[in-house]
Amino acid sequence: MFRILIVEDDEVITKTLQKQISMWGYEVKNIEDFNNVLIEFNEFNPHLVLMDITLPFFNGYHWCNEIRKTSKVPILFISSASDNMNIIMAINMGGDDFIAKPFDLNVLTAKIQAMLRRSYDFSTNQSILEAHGVTLNLNDTSLIYGNQKIDLTKNEFRIMSTLMENKDKYVSRDEMMQALWDTDEFIDDNTLTVNVARLRKKLEEAGLEEFIITKKGIGYRIKE
């Protein structure tokens, strides 16, 4: 049974989320002490976190950053602060996706199910992908280049694996979003842009300049 942790201080929203998520057979827990979110996170050991931005004591960005120091668990931000800056902040701090309040419960459920599928069902017979001296380890979602091992987030891993599986052609933005979220609905296009930019920065820091090529109106591919 998947465990889902709700980090939300609005009791009405929390109870609504608990009822909806429990209906799908998931084990749900909400944070009780907002001064010690990390302690409750470690005790519950969830498979997915729903994280509000505005919280007592410390905001959701802080707790997302703290969780990312030890865990790659999927984090879905839920917030009424849905301007582009907050979405970018949420992704840059380690969030996997963002949904704005007020949200449709069915849309939220679809996002949760898609995130759980892509995070815990890496069903493949291959163990690595290789291209241009770069090796992608499908077992631990890391990338090897030279003597460097680069740890990737789940979204970065999905982007890289999709590009390396299609290394001889361009992958459209729609195809990329389908690979990331298992659906081309309910997706903020800006989220893909932020994830690609963050992945590019990691690659450049490892010496892989212009490894991901963008062709406007066509999509992405790895260098020829």
With cut-offs at 50, 70 and 90, classify the pLDDT of residue 184.
very low
Q: Is the same domain home to 34 and 106? A: yes
- The predicted pLDDT at position 188 comes to 62
Same domain, 113 and 138: no
Q: Give the pLDDT mean for 42-69.
A: 90
Structural domain containing residue 13: 3-120
By the 8 A CB rule, do 176 and 159 touch? yes
How many domains does the chain fold into?
2
Output the domain CATH number for residue 209: 1.10.10.10
Would you say residue 199 has pLDDT above 50?
Answer: yes
In a shared domain, residues 23 and 87: yes
Neighbours of 118 (CB within 10 A): 19
198 with 111, same domain: the answer is no
pLDDT at 93 over 90: no
For 35, half-sphere exposure in the C-beta direction (CA atoms, 13 angstrom radius) is: 0
Query: Residue 89: enclosing H or E segment and its boundaries?
Result: helix 84-92
DSSP conformational letter for 149: E
% of the chain beyond a pLDDT of 90:
23
49 lies in the same domain as 71: yes
What global pTM score does this model have?
0.59
Asked if residue 210 lies in contact with residue 194, where contact means CB atoms within 8 angstroms, the answer is no
Tokens of 39: 């302690």
| Same domain as 110, residue 213 | no
Question: Is 50 exceeded by the pLDDT of residue 83?
Answer: yes
The pLDDT of residue 80: 78
